Chains A and B, each alone.
Chain A
Amino acid sequence: MKKKVISMLLVATTAATMFAGCGKEAGTTGANGTESAGAAVDAGDEGKIINIYCWNDEFRTRVEAVYDKVESTSDDGTITYLTDGCEIHWIVNPNQDGVYQDKLDQALLNQADAAADDKVDIFLSETDYVFKYTDKDADVAMPLADLGIDVDKDLADQYDFTKTTASDSDGVQRGSTWQACPGVLAYRRDIAIDAFGTDDPVEIEAKFKDWATAKESAEELKAAGYYTFASYADTFRLYGNSISQSWVEAGSTTVTVDQQIMNWINDSKEWKDAGYFDPTVKGQWNDDWNKAMGSESKVFAFLFPAWGIDFTMKPNWDGENGAWAVTNPPLEYNWGGSYVHAATGTDNIAHAKDIILQLTANEDNLKKISETTSDFTNDKSAMAELAQRDTFESDMLGTQNPFAYFAPVAEGIKIAPLSAYDQGCVELIQNSFSDYFQGEVDFDKAKANFETAIMERYPDITEVVWPE
């Protein structure tokens, strides 16, 4: 009898673990279908349900904060009720491992056949893959002009590079963002004083004004027992976002590796071997990297845009407030940015227009977002005004006003030419050369590994061209 009970227990638990992997979808799709009766009564063109695809609650909190039609949000955060009786249904899938894109692609491919209330109305994309969705042949994101937005007039105050990023190859803008992501150099004041004798942002800026000077400063830091950056991945965006040609030219099946990428590889190898990086950190977004942002760490600086300081560094920092400062990086760069698109085929054109305008083009709203969250928003005049202030209160930076540094960087950003293959290229080149930096493989093997990996990821790529 005892045996029987135990064996049944075992069977039950194994069965449970077998099925544990399955039922994850319930939370993401359960929101539909309840209000269809109400929608049928409404005879207008505009649907009652606005489906927004995104990967976290950032956009929702922004909408709740500034969109004037928001009435309330359900406790589980899946539905936001608007004052005009419509509902925003949030369909959230994590960005990791391409899950978000998988689900979104599937929904967009089914867009034509989906019932009006199930159609994707608004979706978000990140700079790394925005081009995939703004592609004019794919035509999944509506041109803003078709929504009734006058790009030149309504979005006049947006930073130009954000408009370029969200445009297709003909220059038709198909998305808009509320944030610009100029990156800065964020450094630890205590380490700066210890190694350089000063924590003044102006002097630190001079020490990192270009890569050659930065290398000398790195040597100084090393002598004092510190690492300049956490890992080679940290500097990637500075090089990677200043490439002169896109990874893959339109209509081509060849990946062209830019000279800037080769510079990154050479410099990183040199820096790594010289001991300027924390040897325990490999790449980003892992535990070791997070630890490098803690007070026990010997890492001097991180290269981050506004969101990095607020979302990534803050949760990992366990020291006192105001221990960090920002200054200008060796190269101006942009990292990230979430774009809002209206999906082709949406039945909520008026709402989409309204949301895009209020969230990404309304100066008061954007200023409010910046003031409450320290996010750098996409409005030149509002940002210029914030940059003028002498002090700005934040946990990480104390009273230093980071906007004074963000704003000039943002003005100077020239976005690297985009292609639909960017995400894979950026991710795989870092992976492949990680082994090279660690000394596991030689340079040629790392190149070969990148070629293998990129052709696996994108079956239509036939060749990889390396600069001489």
Chain B
Amino acid sequence: MVMKKKRKNISYAKWGYIFILPFFVSFFIFSCIPLVDTIKYSFFEYYRSGIKEVGPNFIGLTNYIELIKSDMVLYGANTLILWIIGFVPQIVIALVLAAWFTDARLKIKGLQFFKVVIYLPNLIMASAFALLFFTMFSTGGPINSILLSLGVIDKAIDFTGSVFGVRSLIGFMNFLMWFGNTTIMLMAAVMGISVEVFEASDIDGCNRIQRFFYVTLPQIRPILAYTLITSIIGGLQMFDVPQILTNGKGSPDRTSMTLIMFLNNHLKSKNYGMGGALSVYLFIISGILCAIVYKMTNDDDPDGSKAAAKARKKEQRKNRRAK
């Protein structure tokens, strides 16, 4: 009896805490303190003029108000547009590829090989990728010379000189870099669907397209939502591709200037105050998006329908009250 009691008192929990301690320490030093500092300095006037430091002087919400008055919203819209241009083809192609790759009947050979290949663009540094495109699509670059010598065009196209050109190039690069990643994620989701469901649909006479739209898509909805939101958050931070492609100018006419490029412009003068305020705005937007993801992925809806889950909960509550 006594022995048993003693054993019960041994707590293994503290080892758990000790093992996860390194993360929390490094998080505190490298993430938490800078975060608090960023928020703090967003209320200050604090920048460098030449080699002289100005501030920090407390100025309240001035930075926030100045930002609202500036073209920040416009740059937000730019970011959103650039993201959509890249995301739409990305999700479509990824869905199609995921459906093909997981289709047991197609028996694609060298599946692993293709998976690696489509993931490869993601391994190249975005800046290197952008530099490559910058050179390829310059007015005197290889793409123009190929088109010219094939006779497709009779005058070099100024890809980086038009809004359409720059935006589609950025969208295309983002698509290329991320569709492999999305495909692999969606494949995991599709493979998580029980085989019986597919078999049942086959027996019921489902064709391939019907199966995709009525079985696969609804089943992977939570993952799709997750992909969407993480992609938006990634899109919010879009920087290196447009930065390198337009030389940091967001040209033409600042139509490809993203929020982070805008932030970078402020950091050229070490303007921690303004930069901090902009970061806080971004932080809030990302926070909201994260909350949405959290809600979506934490729904307990066994039959896949949110409405049904809600209705059942209501019922349960009613029953309880009735008792």
Contact = CB atoms under 8 A, between A and B. Distances in A.
Interface in B252-269: 252-254, 262, 265-266, 268-269
Contacts of A6: 112, 115-116
A456 B161 contact: no
Interface string A1-26: 01100100010011001001100000
A242 to B, nearest CB: 24
A3 B111 CA distance: 11
A200 interface: no
Interface of A: 2-3, 6, 10, 13-14, 17, 20-21, 97-98, 105, 108-109, 132-133, 135, 137-138, 140, 279-282, 286-288, 291, 420, 431, 434-435, 438, 440-441, 445, 449, 452-453, 456-460
B139 A457 contact: no
20 contacts: A3-B112, A10-B119, A105-B51, A132-B51, A282-B160, A287-B138, A287-B141, A420-B49, A431-B249, A434-B251, A435-B252, A438-B252, A441-B252, A452-B254, A453-B265, A456-B269, A458-B49, A458-B269, A459-B54, A459-B274
B50 interface: yes
Pick the 9 closest A-B CB pairs, nearest first: A280-B139, A440-B252, A420-B50, A132-B50, A456-B265, A138-B51, A459-B47, A441-B253, A288-B140
Contacts of B139: 279-282, 288
Interface string B52-86: 11100000000000000011000000000000000
Nearest to B181: A14
B125 interface: yes
B297 interface: no
Interface string B276-315: 0000000000000000000000000000000000000000
A285 to B, nearest CB: 9
A440 B54 CA distance: 37
Given A279-B158, A456-B269, 12 more contacts: A6-B115, A10-B119, A14-B122, A132-B51, A287-B135, A288-B139, A435-B252, A440-B253, A441-B253, A453-B265, A456-B265, A459-B274
A68 B262 CA distance: 49
A280 B161 CA distance: 10
A457 B161 contact: no
B254 A449 contact: yes
A399 to B, nearest CB: 32
Nearest to B273: A459
For chain B, which range describes its interface: under 10, 10 to 19, 20 to 34, or 35 or more residues? 35 or more
Interface string B242-254: 0000011101111
Interface string B155-168: 01010111100000
Contact of B253 (A108, A132, A140, A435): A435
A97 B45 CA distance: 24
Interface of B: 45, 47-54, 70-71, 112, 115-116, 119, 122-125, 135, 138-141, 156, 158, 160-163, 247-249, 251-254, 262, 265-266, 268-269, 271, 274
Nearest to B160: A282
A21 B140 contact: no
Given A109-B51, A440-B161, A440-B253, A2 B112 contact: yes
Nearest to B265: A456
Contacts of A420: 49-50
A286 B269 contact: no
Contacts of A286: 138, 247
Contacts of A458: 49, 269
Nearest to B113: A6
Nearest to B135: A287
Given A14-B123, A440-B253, A457-B269, A133 B51 contact: yes
B159 to A, nearest CB: 11
B269 A291 contact: no
A288 B271 CA distance: 34
Contact of B54 (A98, A135, A434, A460): A460
Nearest to B243: A97
A140 B51 contact: yes
A282 B49 contact: no
Contacts of A435: 251-253
Contacts of B47: 459-460
A459 B50 contact: no
Nearest to A98: B268
Contact of A288 (B45, B115, B125, B138): B138
A282 B161 contact: yes
A105 B48 contact: yes
B298 to A, nearest CB: 26
B266 A456 contact: yes
Contacts of B54: 459-460
A124 to B, nearest CB: 15
Contacts of A10: 116, 119
B253 A449 contact: yes
Contacts of B53: 109
A309 to B, nearest CB: 22
Contacts of B252: 435, 438, 440-441
A6 B117 CA distance: 12
A368 B59 CA distance: 57
A458 B269 CA distance: 6
A138 B116 contact: no
B116 A431 contact: no
Among B54, B112, B123, B251, the one with the most A-chain Cβ atoms within 10 Å of its Cβ is: B251
Contacts of A97: 248
A435 B247 CA distance: 14
Contacts of B253: 435, 440-441, 445, 449
A449 to B, nearest CB: 6
A109 B71 CA distance: 33
A440 B156 CA distance: 17
A431 B251 contact: yes
A456 B261 CA distance: 11
Contacts of B249: 431, 434
The CB with the most chain B CB atoms within 10 A, among A20, A281, A458, is that of A458
Given A17-B123, A431-B251, A135 B140 contact: no
